[in-house]
């Protein structure tokens, strides 16, 4: 604990013409001067203008106690300052002659009936000279942590004492001063928090942030909302939020449906055309969530939205280009198919012509799946389904995690499954009605990178005999997914088994 006010504070005993006997009044303190000054600074009250609430308390203290002087006094660093005063006409006096500087060293209350007979004040210039103070009574102004900030005090020019009622009233009024200080501090903190909240809201200029009450009327509107939607805050406050929606969406009660969904599920995604103040439209993507009070009561909604018109237009342009590319690729595939068919027909090889045509169709199906994802990726389940449907989907059992494949891996998988299914139809399990094929895959994690393990297992077909020669289809299968290899083909009598492995990273980055 650092030295207290008596020995090393902003005011000291020595040099004040005070009787040495005053040392008998020194008591150990539970607080330090730095703690007390920090607490006082937190109220930010020193040097503020007069306020009616504090003036009223000082006036009431003067009237109740019957004294010509009453002061709401705060002890700062090296100074005493009056938030309110009656009968003094000044806002600050020197600390070295202060009665209150001694009062804050008491536990709660100090009364001096006659200063001329009190060893602490008998030599005080305010007692021995003008204005000739004789009586002092002060109730401490203390924080909830028992740190004294000052006093509510009354003074007189003649000796006297307070009645018990007057003393009790002075104590009560001192507590009211502290309540006013605490209220002032709380309001300032709330105001500061509101300003910080507003600064945060308005700094998010790329996002429209709108708060609504339970009836869907606007209660808060940030700078981003003004920039995105056009209305100034004063124009839109209290207006219904359905102004932001297009006429057709208002007729369909889309705004009401969005609020209902937010209440029932905790959020509602909103991605559609919206309306600006000038009537123009923009594509907005946002989310609405319910707003609740501290007690959990539903009181409104918060909607955060962003103008994504440029992104939508870019997506539409990209989609248009992809469709155009798809059209041209399909024409190219059709031309290649026609040329190959004519060439193979002239060679009288109908089987080769049919095989080539079916491979072109398999590629075209995979191409359509990739187009739906703008050629960025394709779901494995979609590739498997597209490749097997042409062979009778009910004869296959499939299962595995629905991975995303890059374009190269997706096309490779489609051709491999097509070749396996074609061979099974000609020579394997699918050549008989009782035959079935199981196609399953899983992710295998070991010491190295994660890998996809795919198994093609045929059952119920004719007895398997290893082929005497390997054609294009066999070579295509053995290349593996995206040309990564990792293929084993077994020919047990009960049915062909093909196992394929490839790293997950290669499957995603292969396009």
Beginning with the edge strand found earlier in the chain, give each strand of the sheet holding 69-75 in spatial order: 92-93, 80-86, 69-75, 148-156, 135-142, 109-112
Residue 160: strand, helix, or coil: coil
Report the b/e string of 29-45 with b at 16+ CB within 10 A: bebbbebbbebbeebeb
Look at residue 341 and tell me whether its pLDDT is greater than 90.
no
pLDDT at 418: 81
Query: Would you state the torsion angle of the CA atoms of residues 182, 183, 188, 189, taken in this order, to the nearest 10 degrees?
Result: 70
Backbone dihedral angles phi then psi of residue 177, each to the nearest 5 degrees: -60, -45
pLDDT at 100: 84
pLDDT at 312: 84
Instruction: Determine the angle formed by the axes of helices 350-372 and 309-346, rounding to 10 degrees.
Output: 180
Backbone dihedral angles phi then psi of residue 403, each to the nearest 5 degrees: -75, 160
Most confident of 94-103, 146-155, 306-315, 406-415: 146-155
Query: Would you state the torsion angle of the CA atoms of residues 56, 58, 63, 69, taken in this order, to the nearest 10 degrees?
Result: -140
Look at residue 457 and tell me whether its pLDDT is greater than 60.
yes
For the chain, give every residue range classified as CATH 3.30.565.10. 312-509
Q: Band of the pLDDT at 85, cuts 50, 70, 90?
A: very high
Each residue's pLDDT tens digit, 356-415: 566 566 656 655 555 555 556 778 888 888 888 777 778 899 999 988 888 778 877 888
The burial of 151, by beta-carbon neighbours within 10 Å (0-12 exposed, 13-18 middle, 19 or more buried), is given as: buried
Both tokens of 346, joined, read 């002239």
Per residue, the 3-state secondary structure of 184-237, as one string, reads HHHHHHHHHHHHHHHHHHHHCCCCEEEEEECCCEEEEECHHHHHHHCCCHHHHC
Both tokens of 338, joined, read 């026609």
In percent, the amount of the chain with pLDDT more than 70 equals 78
Look at residue 307 and tell me whether its pLDDT is greater than 50.
yes
Class of domain 5-188: alpha beta
**Higher pLDDT pick, 470 / 36:** 36
Report the distance separating Cα 273 and Cα 101, nearest Å. Answer: 69
Residue 459: strand, helix, or coil: strand
**DSSP letter (8 states) at residue 430:** G
Report the b/e string of 226-262 with b at 16+ CB within 10 A: bebbebeeeebeeeebbbbbbeebbeeeebeebbeeb
Look at residue 4 and tell me whether its pLDDT is greater than 80.
no
- Do 379 and 421 touch, CB atoms closer than 8 A? no
Q: Does domain 204-307 have CATH number 3.90.226.10?
A: no
Q: Band of the pLDDT at 2, cuts 50, 70, 90?
A: very low
Each residue's pLDDT tens digit, 255-276: 999 999 999 999 999 999 999 9
**Residues 6+ away with beta carbon under 8 Å from 129:** none
Please list the helix, strand and coil fractions of the chain in percent, rounded to the nearest 5, in that order.
45, 25, 30
Using the structure block, give the residue that is written with the tokens 């994504």.
308
What number is the average pLDDT over the span 179-187? 88
Report the distance separating Cα 413 and Cα 390, nearest Å. Answer: 15
Of 141, 138, 109, 108, nearest in space to 39 by CA? 141
What average pLDDT does the chain have? 81
Of 180, 157, 181, 152, nearest in space to 167 by CA? 152
Each residue's pLDDT tens digit, 466-510: 887 776 667 777 777 766 768 888 999 999 999 988 888 878 754
Both tokens of 156, joined, read 């007189």
For the chain, give every residue range classified as CATH 3.30.450.40. 5-188
Least confident of 90-104, 206-220, 312-326: 312-326
Instruction: Determine the angle formed by the axes of helices 350-372 and 407-426, rounding to 10 degrees.
Output: 140
Q: Band of the pLDDT at 186, cuts 50, 70, 90?
A: confident
On whether the pTM is more than 0.75, the answer is: no
For the chain, give every residue range classified as CATH 3.30.450.20. 204-307
Q: Band of the pLDDT at 3, cuts 50, 70, 90?
A: very low
Report the distance separating Cα 179 and Cα 364, nearest Å. Answer: 80
Q: Which residues pair with 166 in a beta bridge?
A: none
Look at residue 283 and tell me whether its pLDDT is greater than 90.
yes
Each residue's pLDDT tens digit, 198-227: 666 667 688 888 999 999 999 999 888 999
Q: Pairing state of beta strands 218-221 and 148-156?
A: unpaired
Both tokens of 198, joined, read 């507003």
**Higher pLDDT pick, 330 / 13:** 330
**DSSP letter (8 states) at residue 112:** E
Q: Work out whether the CA dihedral 101, 105, 110, 115 comes out positive or negative.
A: negative
Both tokens of 289, joined, read 């969530």
pLDDT at 334: 57
Q: Which residues pair with 210 in a beta bridge?
A: 221, 303
**DSSP letter (8 states) at residue 453:** E
Could you tell me the fold of the domain covering 312-509? Answer: Heat Shock Protein 90 (3.30.565)
pLDDT at 294: 80
**Residues 6+ away with beta carbon under 8 Å from 15:** none
Q: Pairing state of beta strands 148-156 and 80-86?
A: unpaired
Instruction: Return the number of other C-beta atoms located less than 10 Å from residue 60's C-beta.
Output: 16
pLDDT at 290: 93
């Amino acid at each position: 604990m650092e030295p207290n006010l008596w020995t090393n504070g902003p005011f000291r005993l020595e040099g004040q013409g005070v009787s040495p006997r005053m040392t008998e009044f020194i008591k150990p303190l539970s607080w330090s001067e730095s703690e007390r000054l920090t607490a006082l600074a937190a109220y930010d009250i020193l040097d503020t203008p007069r306020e009616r609430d504090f003036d009223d308390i000082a006036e009431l203290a003067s009237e109740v106690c019957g004294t010509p002087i009453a002061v709401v006094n705060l002890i700062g660093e090296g100074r005493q300052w009056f938030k309110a005063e009656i009968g003094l006409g000044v806002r600050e006096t020197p600390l070295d002659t202060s009665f209150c500087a001694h009062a804050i060293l008491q536990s709660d209350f100090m009364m001096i009936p006659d200063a001329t007979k009190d060893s602490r004040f008998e030599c005080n210039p305010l007692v021995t000279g003008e204005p000739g103070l004789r009586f002092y009574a002060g109730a401490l102004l203390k924080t909830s942590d028992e740190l004294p900030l000052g006093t509510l005090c009354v003074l007189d020019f003649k000796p006297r004492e307070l009645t018990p009622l007057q003393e009790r009233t002075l104590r009560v009024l001192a507590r009211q001063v502290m309540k006013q200080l605490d209220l002032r501090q709380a309001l300032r903190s709330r105001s500061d928090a509101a300003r910080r909240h507003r600064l945060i809201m308005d700094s998010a200029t790329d996002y429209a942030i709108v708060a609504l009450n339970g009836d869907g009327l606007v209660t808060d509107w940030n700078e981003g909302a003004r920039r995105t939607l056009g209305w100034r805050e004063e124009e839109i406050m209290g207006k219904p939020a359905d102004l932001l929606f297009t006429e057709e969406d208002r007729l369909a009660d889309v705004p009401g449906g969005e609020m209902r969904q937010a209440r029932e599920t905790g959020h509602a995604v909103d991605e559609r055309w919206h309306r600006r103040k000038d009537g123009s439209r923009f594509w907005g993507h946002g989310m609405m969530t319910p707003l609740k009070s501290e007690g959990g009561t539903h009181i409104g909604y918060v909607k955060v939205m962003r103008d994504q018109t440029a992104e939508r237009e870019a997506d539409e342009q990209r989609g248009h280009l992809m469709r155009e590319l798809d059209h041209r690729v399909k024409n190219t595939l059709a031309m290649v198919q026609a040329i190959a068919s004519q060439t193979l027909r002239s060679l009288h090889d109908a089987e080769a012509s049919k095989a080539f045509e079916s491979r072109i169709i398999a590629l075209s199906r995979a191409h359509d799946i990739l187009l739906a994802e703008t050629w960025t990726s394709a779901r494995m389940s979609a590739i498997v389904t597209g490749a097997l449907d042409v062979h009778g989907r009910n004869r296959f059992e499939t299962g595995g995690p629905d991975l995303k494949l890059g374009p190269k891996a997706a096309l490779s998988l489609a051709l491999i499954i097509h070749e396996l299914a074609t061979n099974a139809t000609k020579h394997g399990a699918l050549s008989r009605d009782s035959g079935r094929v199981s196609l399953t895959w899983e992710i295998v994690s070991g010491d190295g990178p994660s890998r996809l393990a795919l198994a093609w297992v045929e059952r119920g077909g004719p007895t398997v005999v290893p082929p005497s020669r390997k054609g294009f289809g066999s070579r295509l299968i053995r290349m593996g997914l995206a040309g990564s290899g990792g293929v084993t083909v077994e020919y047990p009598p009960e049915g062909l088994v093909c196992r394929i492995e490839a790293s997950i990273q290669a499957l995603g980055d292969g396009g």
